Amino acid sequence: MLKNDITVEICGTSGDGTIAAGGLLNEAMSRAGFSVIAYDSYPSEIRGFGRCVTKSRFGLEQMLAFSDKVDVLISLNDSQSYSRTPFLAKNAVVLFDNKPLAKVKEGGSIAAHVGPDANLFGVPLINLALEAGAVRKGKNLAALGAFVALFGLDPDFFRPVITNKFKTKGAEVIETNIKIFDAGFNSTLNNYGEQAVEALFAPVKNKNKGKILVSGNAAIAKGALDAGLELYFGYPITPATPIMEIMAKELPLKGGKFQLMEDEIASIGAVIGGSYAGKRAMTATSGPGLALMAEMISLGVMTEIPAVIIDAQRAGPSTGIPTKTEQSDLHAAVFGGPGDSPRIVIAPTNVKECYEYIVKSLQLAEKYQTPVIMLTDCFLNNRVENVLLPEKSSDQMKDCNIYPDNSEKGNYKRYKITESGISPRAVPGMEGFVFSSTGLEHTNDGKPADTPQIHMEMNEKRHRKILNALNDLPEPEEFSTEKLLDLGLITWGSSVGAALEATLKAQKKGLKVGMLKVPAIYPYHSDHISNFMNRCQEILIPELNFTGQLANLIGHLHKKVVLRLNQTTGEPILVCDIINRVEDILAKINK
Amino acid sequence: MLKNDITVEICGTSGDGTIAAGGLLNEAMSRAGFSVIAYDSYPSEIRGFGRCVTKSRFGLEQMLAFSDKVDVLISLNDSQSYSRTPFLAKNAVVLFDNKPLAKVKEGGSIAAHVGPDANLFGVPLINLALEAGAVRKGKNLAALGAFVALFGLDPDFFRPVITNKFKTKGAEVIETNIKIFDAGFNSTLNNYGEQAVEALFAPVKNKNKGKILVSGNAAIAKGALDAGLELYFGYPITPATPIMEIMAKELPLKGGKFQLMEDEIASIGAVIGGSYAGKRAMTATSGPGLALMAEMISLGVMTEIPAVIIDAQRAGPSTGIPTKTEQSDLHAAVFGGPGDSPRIVIAPTNVKECYEYIVKSLQLAEKYQTPVIMLTDCFLNNRVENVLLPEKSSDQMKDCNIYPDNSEKGNYKRYKITESGISPRAVPGMEGFVFSSTGLEHTNDGKPADTPQIHMEMNEKRHRKILNALNDLPEPEEFSTEKLLDLGLITWGSSVGAALEATLKAQKKGLKVGMLKVPAIYPYHSDHISNFMNRCQEILIPELNFTGQLANLIGHLHKKVVLRLNQTTGEPILVCDIINRVEDILAKINK
Amino acid sequence: MKTSGKALAEKVKQIKESDMLSIRSESLPTWCPGCGYFGIQQGLNNAIQQLGLSHHKIVNVTGIGCAGRYAFFNDAYGLHVVHGRLLPVATGVKMANPELTVFAVGGDGDGLAIGAGHLPHMVRRNVNVNYMLFDNSTFGLTKGQISPTSPIGTVSKASPSGNVDTPLNATLMALSYGATFVARLYAGDPKHNTAIIKEGIKHEGFSIFHFYSSCVTFDKVYKTWNNLKDNVHPLPPTYDHANLKHAIDHVLEDDFSMGIIYKND
Amino acid sequence: MKTSGKALAEKVKQIKESDMLSIRSESLPTWCPGCGYFGIQQGLNNAIQQLGLSHHKIVNVTGIGCAGRYAFFNDAYGLHVVHGRLLPVATGVKMANPELTVFAVGGDGDGLAIGAGHLPHMVRRNVNVNYMLFDNSTFGLTKGQISPTSPIGTVSKASPSGNVDTPLNATLMALSYGATFVARLYAGDPKHNTAIIKEGIKHEGFSIFHFYSSCVTFDKVYKTWNNLKDNVHPLPPTYDHANLKHAIDHVLEDDFSMGIIYKND
Ligand SMILES: Cc1ncc(C[n+]2csc(CCOP(=O)(O)OP(=O)(O)O)c2C)c(N)n1
Ligand SMILES: Cc1ncc(C[n+]2csc(CCOP(=O)(O)OP(=O)(O)O)c2C)c(N)n1
Ligand code: SF4
Ligand code: SF4
Ligand SMILES: [Mg+2]
Ligand SMILES: [Mg+2]
């Protein structure tokens, strides 16, 4: 086992306190100075019977992705967690309750399901919990204590986190939980001794100072709030709901307004209305909601009104698998809606970018007077990382609107044809700039028009404007060691991390592999992308959808057929799957 | 002027009886044995002030498109029609009222706006109408009479058409109108003599026997009715409304059911419900409605329920120009909706195919258990042609559903994985086959499921099924004279006619130009298409949208960058625009 | 029928000069001559004028249909949206800037067919928007199909053997959703309407004005001027518009009384 | 808490054998223990059973939400559609094959938020569909946000300082649209509900059953079992469900009377 990079899973039902234990673990490990990336998976039904798994990876550098295998499995419920054993790394550590309350039928213990290489650590979790706290439910804390003991960590990173977690429940509850944690810790130390497994490398103290442990959703909400968002309209849908719920709480505290709407059409409608009236406004949804918004987004394109829409993708089509991840709304985001409707589509690739790109999206929407769709996915929305987010700044809050000049008063042309394609925009309330906007094709002063000339000119203006936005969009980022490459990977969104880790591993092996991360989906940096393609013998585009939606969009830029790695497992893509494919391709090239 | 191919425009306001005159002209010319293609253009507001233009082309062979220039302009209102003079051919015939009732201000007569080459024929239309019928409004009939006289046509082709048109108004009205027509005829003959212009070639009598003069919309409705459509649900929207209105009248007469719905989501929802329950069902809409349907179409994909949707495209984005034509919903038709949602998209290219393809669509939807989107556009929906439609046949009405075998009773797996991807489908009411369908990912018996295996397997099944449908879809059709071509055109939908005419003209000039018509938009015949591309040095894709939506979809199949000819004028593409571009490209190649 | 350029310019000039109508934009309405909407606009213009609202502080969010074209005929900020969604958009506008006077203007098809889902929620939010529902019981712009308020039996191209679907009553619906200002008005009586519109604009919260109007081009039989004129009448003198139960009972019995049906401040 | 495989099989067997419940499918409901929906399902099962409806002639068109999962818990044809659209889909099913008994089953979020536009039109068409509206005043499946029927003041993650939007009354709405069969029922009283459900199924035309239910997982304060139990009561003995005005007046005053509110054959 690598002592400075471990992946831990906790598995049980939600009744077992699985998710809570994962949360405590991540928080404490972050305090201890580790870099954290973590992601929970749970069933889409409400009641507490289904399997919950929290997966966390701890290391010293910023974590790009999960490792393919699990180094430590903490079982809170063997009947659930035995299904996780196929994912165990060699010589993995398995921590389980060796004295469960009920008699377990033969083969029911996880011990019966692991390979001979596994390091089994039985700890009487429930017993310890009952002894120390008289609450069976505390077994998750006993398990955390055991984990800390095994890996030689300092329990003092954990105790304040536990205290904090239960602070609203009163001193007694806190004490009980600390007691159970300590019981797990001491019992394990006593039974297995100090060096039961290779200790974890102790990271530099205070390494994570200033960093916060946040999910993609929380980072999006924080970014929007820091950017001075004024209006949020939304309708719940997994996995975007938490953004709405944070807004419901936080936005009014900052002087903004939150309104739950009756559906997604109403949400985007109100965003358009609010932006039209000059305020910074946004909404968040998932694929089914985005589909419903398509007509209104096209209105935003035609009337040139800002709007920011987060599409937190989930497995589709249709209702699909609401709690699983997928990158399959790219087509709908770029192409949905009637007619030629150019809009901006961008995709952050990690939690930090969730923050940065929402700020960017709000500003781009204003400057370019356009709907901006920010594509995230379940994996990115829900995963937590400990990251250093930028301070809230006046730059983020900057009003990016381009207003008309006072000289235009009384003779204002809202849709004036300009070089940039941007026409200075007045907002209601401004005197002397009264104008009309319409989803009908229109003259430069916003009146309906149906002549060939005007329609061609206005179509051209709208497209030119969006193409110009390329200058302000995050550029592709390349990770190559050489100029000429055997294979170039191109990736986007939440798959970038795994692809990058795969690329770095391949490069370490001396393979001529490079990678290009594409954050601007539409418009895209075609020169930059085809430059990269030209330097690669083969191009591979790994993504979490069935048909290769990014490949469909940019594939024509390559002189050859681009290769695809498409997965729709509902799970994040694995580093090993990418590496295997990379090696396959290189084997063919070099033979 | 070609004596066997002329293009006639009638121009005035709707108060001038412009559209009515065009209808009579087309009907009579069809009776006379001419091939007809005709298309009206009118403003999108209701009241009768705007300019109406009817454009008709008459010839001996099936008309592929309009000619670029107008040979005959019949002006019913000079203040409207002078704007049409730039479109006149050399030596065009202009027929106008030389004694209008009100005094016309200087330059107000069309005579002041035509070039010196034009052949002006002043006929006192209003006077003749007032004299013969005491109705000023009859001037449109006087104009028809004048037209007949000028071109040496037999007035007996016109009289029964006029009689028929007014048959509900009684004998007196009929007589008056015939009288006015005759007055126009006689007056012109008297004033200008028999051979005022080169007479039109008299076509073979009874040449059009069996042919009917129908619009694309009427052909679609007729095709659907002949195919035994059982349910129609719809909501009005230009230019699809006439399909709905024909259904409202005709479907109940054939034992089917028509229901006006509250919106497009409800319309497609009811279609899905009706198809699920085993009936042949469809709806028709335009871009804004299609956008609203995207979520439900994705449900149809996931639950594998048939549904046929006509998307009568109009100029977009958003409300756009409702009465103008465009081919800009291709992206939305192929890619709209959440997740990977494969569906069938086909596009007829002329009125006859409107009939044939709707029959096909209804059958494909049943056989492949899938939404089928048929893309037409304003120009195709509204243009009329005189065509020989197939007889209604039992083959068209054939139930294409694949039902489960009786042996599956009691152990029926609705979503069984099969080689074709098609799982036999039971419908409610069948005993022993009870099952559930859901927009959630599901097991083969239709219960919700969220495992990676099932999601991958089902995604694969759904895509395989649609790819298999390629076998049943209309194949690309090639129009080439040689094997190796300098330039290949690829076209779709209503632009095929003009592109073909351009191609034939280029071929006549000895240019190495070929054309491929692509009727199946998704899935598309990639082998066939890339075969064609491989034989062409350059590929040009002319289409009526801004970004080149078909080019975006299939462009990657070419080894080079495909060339595009994109127009968004709201008007059908002109043959001359294509030819000019073709010649430009060839000039570059050969230099 | 065509108005000459000069006559038109003259008309615009007159309109501009008459103080009462200064809100009208330079684009003259393209509604058919005789359309009921002219009368509605007149009442609205009067009210705006009399309240002395600054034009640049007015926003007209309008739907799709002949009614929705209203956005172009006013010298005020206009936002002509997609079919059926004027109320959510108007919500956004008003929440963004409460100093604006926001009108939502659309037809019966727009508001009661495709847009029917937004009205109950607009009422619930009670955002201070003035909804002008132009009800002519037809889809005017798409050429005269039956709408959700068409009487049973209405013959149209979408109902060749007569409408069989029960018509909706927008006034009753608004009441059942809990609306706090509901007026029913006759397009042909701008004078009477002016005062009521003023009262509704001043009402703090959502106001709905259900206008009975006539589509002279596509409806020669049902909601014609004559039929409307013959039927409309004032609310009874004893009418108490502060009493919801009373209001609902009245509306259940009388389809043609015009005035403030319900008001709750 | 987890039921073992064997115990589960036993339970299914019992259910299959009891004639009364034969309509339940082999997939046991995944609703949380104590969820009000079990009671609703019970009443529905009884009615179906007593009417002797053939299972293969029943179609359940269901919405998205916990309520919508009903489609999987019945031994009948089930079509679980997208959020808010069960009524148009059910219209298609019934019009395609009038011999089927069609149930539309969905929650208050599904039917009154995103789907609110379809109810008035379902009523207008009066297609013979039975709409089971499971109203727990919350968005259960998305974890307990306020819904269109949540009382003022309801605290949830979407309303951290309490709901301020006026709740909708689905019973009153249905009446104002002109519904011909409207029942209001309490999830906790399957016995009483059975007879009424049977009557509604037999009603020729659209029937709406507005069920008051409890979400035990996300609502510990408002529509709890205790609060419901304390408040619900039968309709008054003099109640005349054939009189619309009477019905509306009653509903305006009494939120918790259960039974057939209105019926018009
Ligand atoms: C999504 C969508 N569906 C349909 C249409 C077509 N459409 C335009 S106006 C209209 C109805 C107009 O009726 P109403 O709202 O009563 O307005 P009126 O013309 O009578 O004033 C329809 C159906 C559209 N523009 N968009
Ligand atoms: C278009 C769309 N928007 C949002 C959602 C997310 N969603 C799923 S269920 C639900 C609400 C469920 O509430 P309700 O209908 O009351 O059912 P309950 O769970 O309470 O039974 C929502 C908003 C969705 N699936 N689709
Ligand atoms: S069609 Fe009817 S509603 Fe539209 S402008 Fe003309 S009269 Fe008015
Ligand atoms: S979350 Fe609420 S509504 Fe859903 S099953 Fe549980 S108790 Fe029932
Ligand atoms: Mg109307
Ligand atoms: Mg609910």
Instruction: Report whether pLDDT(B194) > 90.
Output: no
Whether the CB of D59 sits within 6 Å of ligand 4:
no
Q: Which residues of B touch D26 (CB under 8 A)?
A: none
How far, in Å, is the centroid of ligand 5 from the Cα of C137?
Answer: 5
Going by pLDDT thresholds of 50, 70 and 90, the confidence category of residue D16 is low
Q: Ligand 2 centre and the CA of B286: distance in Å?
A: 28
The yes-or-no verdict on residue A302 having pLDDT over 70 is yes
Please answer yes or no on whether B463 and A337 come within 8 Å at the CB atom: no
- Residue A108 contacts D where some CB pair is shorter than 8 Å: no
Under a CB-based contact definition with an 8 Å cutoff, are residues B374 and B348 in contact?
Answer: yes
CA proximity to D121, closest of A343, B586, B270: B270
pLDDT in tens, D43-55: 999 999 999 999 9
Q: B309, A293 in Cβ contact below 8 A? A: no
- Which residue lies with its CA nearest to atom 7 of ligand 1? B237
Name the maximum alpha-carbon separation found in chain B.
Answer: 86
Q: How much of chain B exceeds pLDDT 70, in percent?
A: 98
D40 lines ligand 4 (CB under 6 A): no
Token pair, residue B326, equals 């465009």
Residue B590 pLDDT level (bands cut at 50, 70, 90): confident
The CA-to-CA distance between both ends of chain A, in Å, stands at 34
Sequence-ordered list of residues with C-beta below 8 angstroms from that of A24, at least 6 positions apart, any chain = A141, A144, A158, A161, A162, A165
Say which ligand is closest to the CA of A239. 2
Spatial distance between the Cα atoms of A421 and A438, rounded to a whole number of angstroms: 18
For residue B586, report the phi and psi dihedrals to the nearest 5 degrees.
-65, -35
Nearest to D194 by CA among D70, D51, D67: D51
Residues of C in contact with D173 (CB under 8 A): 120, 173, 176-177
List, in sequence order, every residue forming a beta bridge with B52; answer none if it has no partner: B12
Q: Is the pLDDT of residue D1 over 60?
A: no
CA distances, C226 to each of A544, C32, C219, C223 (Å): 64, 17, 12, 8
CA neighbours closer than 13 Å in the CB half-sphere of residue D233: 8
A432: pLDDT strictly greater than 70: yes
- CA A548 vs CA A162, A327, A487, A540: distances in Å: 44, 9, 18, 10
Q: B233, B237, B318: which to mutate for ligand 1, most atoms within 8 A of CB?
A: B237
**pLDDT band for position B146 (50/70/90)?**
very high
What is the rounded distance in angstroms from the CA atom of residue B439 to the CA atom of residue B437? 7
Task: Write the residue in B236, B264, B288 that is nearest to C139 by C-beta.
Answer: B236
| Average pLDDT over all residues of chain B | 95
At B38-87, the pLDDT tens digits run 999 876 666 656 789 999 999 988 889 999 999 999 999 998 998 999 99
Ligand 3: does its nearest atom lie under 6 Å from the Cβ of C35?
A: yes
The Cα-based distances of A59 to A90, A385, A403, B206 in angstroms read 19, 12, 49, 87
Predicted interface score ipTM higher than 0.90: yes
- In this prediction, residue D79 carries a pLDDT of 98
Q: Note which residues in 75-104 of chain D have CB less than 8 A from chain A.
A: 80, 82-84
The atom number, within ligand 2, closest to the CA of D64 reads 9
Is there a contact between C177 and D173 if contact means CB atoms under 8 Å apart? Answer: yes
User: Which three-class secondary structure string do you get for C9-55?
Assistant: HHHHHHHHHCHHHCCECCCCCCCCCCCCHHHHHHHHHHHHHHHCCCH
Partners of residue B566 on adjacent β-strands? B543
A5-195 against A213-397: fold identical: no
Question: Cβ(C37) to ligand 3 under 6 A?
Answer: yes
Q: Specify burial of residue C112 (Cβ count, 10 A radius: 0-12, 13-18, 19+).
A: buried
Cα-Cα-Cα-Cα torsion B462, B464, B470, B472, nearest 10 degrees, comes to -70
Whether the predicted pLDDT of C78 surpasses 80 = yes
In the predicted model, what is the mean pLDDT of residues D149-167? 98
CATH architecture, domain defined by A5-195: 3-Layer(aba) Sandwich (3.40)
Cβ contacts of residue A150 below 8 Å, gap of 6+?
A93, A95, A121, A188, A192, A196, A197
Q: How far apart are CA B179 and CA B166, in angstroms?
A: 13
Q: Band the pLDDT of C3: cuts 50, 70, 90.
A: very low
Under DSSP, the state recorded for D72 is G
3-state secondary structure of A353: helix
Q: What is the pLDDT of residue A1?
A: 42
> Alpha carbon of B217 to those of B352, B383, B433, D130, D153: distances in Å?
11, 8, 39, 36, 54
Model confidence at C1, in pLDDT bands (50, 70, 90)? very low
Nearest Cα to Cα of residue C225 among C136, C111, C109, C107: C136
| The pLDDT of residue B102 is above 90 | no
Cβ atoms B573, B493 nearer than 8 A: no
Closest chain B C-alpha to D56 CA, distance in angstroms:
5
Class of residue B227 by CB neighbours under 10 A (exposed 0-12, middle 13-18, buried 19+)? buried
Distance CA(A333)–CA(D24), nearest Å, equals 41
| CA B44 / ligand 1 centre spacing (Å) | 12
Q: What is the domain class of A213-397 according to CATH?
A: alpha beta
**pLDDT digits over D86-141, tens only?**
999 999 999 999 999 999 999 999 999 999 999 999 999 999 999 999 999 999 99
Domain spans, chain B: 5-195, 213-397, 402-474, 477-589
Of A331, A494, A265, give the one whose Cα is nearest residue B341.
Answer: A331
**Which tens digits make up the pLDDT trace of A216-239?**
999 999 999 999 999 999 999 999
CB contact under 8 A, A277 and C78: no
Strands B70-75 and B307-313, sheet pairing: unpaired
Chain C: partners with 3+ C-beta pairs within 8 Å: A, B, D
In this predicted structure, the answer to whether residue A513 has a pLDDT above a threshold of 50 is yes
What is the least distance, in Å, from the CA of B104 to any CA of chain C? 12
Residues in D touching B447 (Cβ below 8 Å): 27, 72
Mutate to test the pocket of ligand 4, among D41, D66, D223 (most ligand atoms within 8 A of CB): D66
Distance from C-alpha of C30 to C-alpha of C67, rounded to nearest angstrom: 11
**Which atom of ligand 4 approaches the CA of D37 most closely?**
8
What is the structure's pLDDT at A204? Answer: 78
- Please indicate whether, in this complex, the C-beta atoms of A260 and D146 are within 8 angstroms of each other: yes
CATH of domain B477-589: 3.40.50.920
- pLDDT tens-place string over residues C40-51: 999 999 999 999
The DSSP line for A276-294 is: HTT--EEEEE-HHHHHHHH
Q: Which residue minimizes the CA distance to atom 5 of ligand 3?
A: C31
Ligand 4 within 6 A of D216 CB?
yes
CB–CB of A570/A546 below 8 Å? no
Q: Which residues of A touch D31 (CB under 8 A)?
A: 46-47
* pLDDT tens per residue across span B14-44: 789 999 999 999 999 999 999 999 999 876 6
Name residue, tokens 């070419």.
B558
User: pLDDT, tens digit, for every residue of D218-239?
Assistant: 999 999 999 999 999 999 999 9
Least confident segment among A189-203, A491-505, B18-32, C133-147: A189-203
Instruction: Give the Cα separation of A590 and A571 in Å (integer).
Output: 32
Q: Topology of domain C30-263, per CATH?
A: Rossmann fold (3.40.50)
How many inter-chain contacts (C to D, CB under 8 Å) are there?
80
D contact chains, 3+ CB pairs < 8 A: A, B, C
B535 backbone dihedrals φ, ψ, rounded to 5°: -90, 0
Among B76, B134, B69, smallest CA distance to B100 is for: B76
Question: DSSP letters along D141-199, please?
Answer: TTTSEE-TTPPTT--BTTBTT---SPPP-HHHHHHHHT-SEEEEEETT-HHHHHHHHHH
The DSSP bridge partners found for residue D77 are D59
Beta carbons of B422 and B367 less than 8 angstroms apart: yes
